């Protein structure tokens, strides 16, 4: 859908199920991602959302940004709750207490709720094969509570609990690859998306929601506050992350890999890293090390998608 650039954007649904007036930071690309996801899902949707930025900013009592049934969960259990909702609705429809209708069951969480705290429940729900979609808004740290590291924080990023200094490089472990973990569950649909590619994101959400069985989407959501970048550059950094292949966009439909976007010219990771405050302490040799890792991962993905050498 990205190739239909100019006029087609005017044909996207204009109803908002995640309305404006919420309290996200200036330039928040995660709120943008939620808005696009909700646009793609439409009104017949039940959302269970884990604690995190999006829950805090969108539902301060007595206000709410949500126009669909929305359940607030603790960090660990959106996938468990949506499993129950899905099973309950299925039973009610079977017994004739509710008219039969196609409803999108969606669980959402940040990277902390998905990769760290809710990992077990998510794994369980994916394995049980409930008909639901899990969307992880990956902003690469616990941004809501003040930028603490999560297992999704990339190597070398400085956060308040992995500060860079004389001895430490910042985060010293690698980013957990949640999409690959979901693929390992053999679910029918897994995809990676990015808030800077809204049409691609909407397409993937629609496909994920239409797939019978569990679907998982990992959405890289740029966080200007936590990444220490100017607020107006949030979209630019999302695109850079994809262009320098640090975050490849692909889909896995029934085990078949498909690359959604191949950068026309691969950008060196320096472009992505140099403007971000969380990476400013990295030396040239550190960046060269990261570049090597990115190249290796990218080759792996290309090979899986059947586009490798």
Partner 1 sequence: MEKITIIIDGKQVEAVKDQPVLMAARENGIDIPALCHHPELESSGGSCRVCLVEAVQGGRSRIVTSCNYPVRAGLEVNTSTDQVMKIRKGVLELLLCRVPDSEVVRGLASKYGIDEPRFFKDEGENNRYKCIACSLCTQVCEDVVGVSAISMQNRGVEKAPGTPFHKDSQACIGCGACAYACPTGAISMKDSKGVRTIWGRKFKMAACSVCGKPYIPQAQVDWIVKTTGKDRAFFDKCPDHR
Q: Are 195 and 29 in contact (CB under 8 A)?
A: yes
Quick one: which of 73, 61, 160 has its CA closest to 113?
Answer: 73
Q: Which is nearer to partner 1, 4 or 174 (CB)?
A: 4
Nearer to partner 1, 115 or 273 (CB): 273
Task: Name every residue whose Cβ is closer than 8 Å to that of residue 57 and which is 6 or more positions away in sequence.
Answer: 22, 23, 24, 28, 31, 65
Is the CB of 69 or the CB of 120 nearer to partner 1?
A: 69
* Percent composition of the chain: helix, strand, coil (DSSP 3-state, to 5): 40, 15, 45
List the beta strands (DSSP E) in the chain: 45-49, 70-72, 104-110, 133-138, 189-194, 215-220, 250-253, 256-259
Q: Which is nearer to partner 1, 5 or 20 (CB)?
A: 5
**11 touches partner 1 by CB under 8 A:** yes
Using the rule CB under 8 A, is 13 a contact of partner 1? yes
- 97 lies in the site for partner 1, by CB under 8 A: no
DSSP lists the bridge partners of residue 217 as: 135, 191
Residues 44-63 that bind partner 1 (CB under 8 A): 44
Q: Which is nearer to partner 1, 2 or 116 (CB)?
A: 2
Binding mask 98-137 for partner 1 (x = CB under 8 A): ---xx-----------------------------------
- Residue found by looking up tokens 């709720």 in the block: 113
Please name which of 7, 305, 27 lies closest in space to residue 179, comparing C-alpha atoms: 305
Residues 6+ apart with CB under 8 A from 6: none
Closest C-alpha to 200, from 254, 247, 163, 246: 247
Binding segment (CB under 8 A) for partner 1, from list 11-19, 73-81, 118-126, 144-152: 11-19
Site string for partner 1, 204-243 (x = CB under 8 A): --------------------------------x--x---x
| Number of residues binding to partner 1, judged by CB under 8 A | 22
Q: Is 274 in the site for partner 1 (CB under 8 A)?
A: no
Nearest approach, Cβ of 103 to partner 1 (angstroms)? 10
By DSSP bridging, strand 104-110 and strand 70-72 are: unpaired
Q: Shortest Cβ distance from residue 96 to partner 1 (Å)?
A: 15
Selected from 95, 97, 166, 265, the binder of partner 1 by CB under 8 A is 265
Residue 10 CB, shortest distance to partner 1, in Å, is 6
In DSSP terms, 107 is beta-bridged to 48, 134
267 makes contact with partner 1 (CB under 8 A): yes
- The residues of the shown chain that bind partner 1, judged by CB under 8 A, are 1, 3-8, 10-11, 13-14, 43-44, 101-102, 236, 239, 243, 263-265, 267
């Amino acid at each position: 859908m990205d190739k239909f650039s100019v006029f087609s954007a005017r044909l996207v649904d204009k109803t908002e199920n995640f309305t404006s007036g919420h309290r996200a930071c200036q330039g928040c690309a995660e709120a943008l991602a939620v808005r696009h996801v909700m646009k793609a899902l439409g009104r017949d949707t039940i959302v269970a959302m884990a604690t995190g930025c999006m829950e805090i900013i969108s539902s301060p009592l007595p206000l709410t940004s949500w126009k669909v049934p929305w359940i607030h969960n603790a960090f660990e259990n959106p996938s468990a709750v949506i499993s129950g909702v899905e099973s309950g609705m299925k039973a009610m429809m079977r017994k004739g207490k509710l008219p039969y209708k196609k409803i999108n069951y969606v669980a959402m969480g940040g990277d902390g709720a998905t990769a760290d705290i809710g990992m077990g429940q998510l794994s369980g729900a994916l394995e049980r094969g409930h008909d639901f979609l899990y969307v992880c808004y990956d902003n690469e740290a616990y941004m809501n509570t003040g930028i603490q590291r999560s297992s999704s924080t990339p190597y070398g990023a400085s956060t308040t609990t992995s500060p860079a200094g004389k001895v430490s490089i910042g985060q010293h472990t690698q980013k957990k690859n949640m999409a690959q973990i979901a693929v390992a569950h053999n679910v029918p649909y897994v995809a990676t998306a990015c808030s800077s590619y809204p049409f691609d994101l909407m397409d993937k959400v629609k496909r994920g929601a239409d797939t019978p069985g569990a679907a998982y989407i990992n959405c890289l959501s740029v966080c200007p506050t936590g990444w220490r970048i100017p607020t107006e550059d949030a979209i630019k950094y999302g695109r850079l992350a994809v262009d320098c292949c640090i975050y490849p966009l692909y889909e896995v439909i029934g085990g078949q890999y498909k690359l959604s976007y191949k950068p026309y010219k691969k950008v060196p990771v320096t472009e992505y890293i140099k403007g971000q405050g969380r990476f400013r302490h990295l030396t040239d040799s550190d960046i060269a090390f990261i570049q090597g890792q990115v190249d290796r991962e990218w080759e792996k993905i290309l090979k899986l998608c059947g586009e490798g050498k």
